[in-house]
Chain A
Amino acid sequence: QKEVEQNSGPLSVPEGAIASLNCTYSDRGSQSFFWYRQYSGKSPELIMFIYSNGDKEDGRFTAQLNKASQYVSLLIRDSQPSDSATYLCAVSPYNFNKFYFGSGTKLNVKP
């Protein structure tokens, strides 16, 4: 079983719609959760991090964490073609000495 699981996609949504990306993790001791965006041929860039159960909003992005269900999600509102990328979920224990990344979900936003 992988530490972090993501649906590889591709997930296709029309421009202006809400894109919902999901991630599950296996280690109940995980404390910190991150979403990265990676354009083709580029390095990952941080979008959001979340540590506490519930929702965290930043502009068009909302991260949701449910530790009981070991589930973290990312919602992208008003999706734009420029949001088309692979989204990586990452999980870390409390001391950040190791990170586990999912294999990523490819998002296509169609104009």
Chain B
Amino acid sequence: GAGVSQSPSNKVTEKGKDVELRCDPISGHTALYWYRQSLGQGLEFLIYFQGNSAPDKSGLPSDRFSAERTGGSVSTLTIQRTQQEDSAVYLCASSPPGLAGTFGTQYFGPGTRLLVL
């Protein structure tokens, strides 16, 4: 079946502009995660959704970052007034409902490469 999709695949923007990144999770997956990966680094957890709710937003780096999820499906990560340090690959992952043996297993999308000039 279809995997997690993300758009755009690449985004180049100027410092100070807003950007919107989109994630389409696997159908039926209730949990959705956003991560950021800088060059040569591990994944930095940003936010988690269970359904449309985000119980903990403390992973968002600053108040310029926000995320929402609608209909228990598509999620959007918005970065306002982008800065050069926001340049990274933004990854989205989804997880299925809590069936035995699948708890916490994440399926990643291809990512959005963001470059802020």
Contact = CB atoms under 8 A, between A and B. Distances in A.
Interface string A86-111: 00101010001111111110000000
B56 A46 contact: no
B107 A46 contact: yes
Contacts of A42: 110
B106 interface: yes
Given A32-B103, A97-B56, A43 B48 contact: no
A42 B91 CA distance: 10
A34 B42 CA distance: 14
A43 B110 contact: yes
Contacts of A4: 42
A97 B43 contact: no
Interface of A: 4, 6, 32, 34, 42-46, 49, 51, 88, 90, 92, 96-104
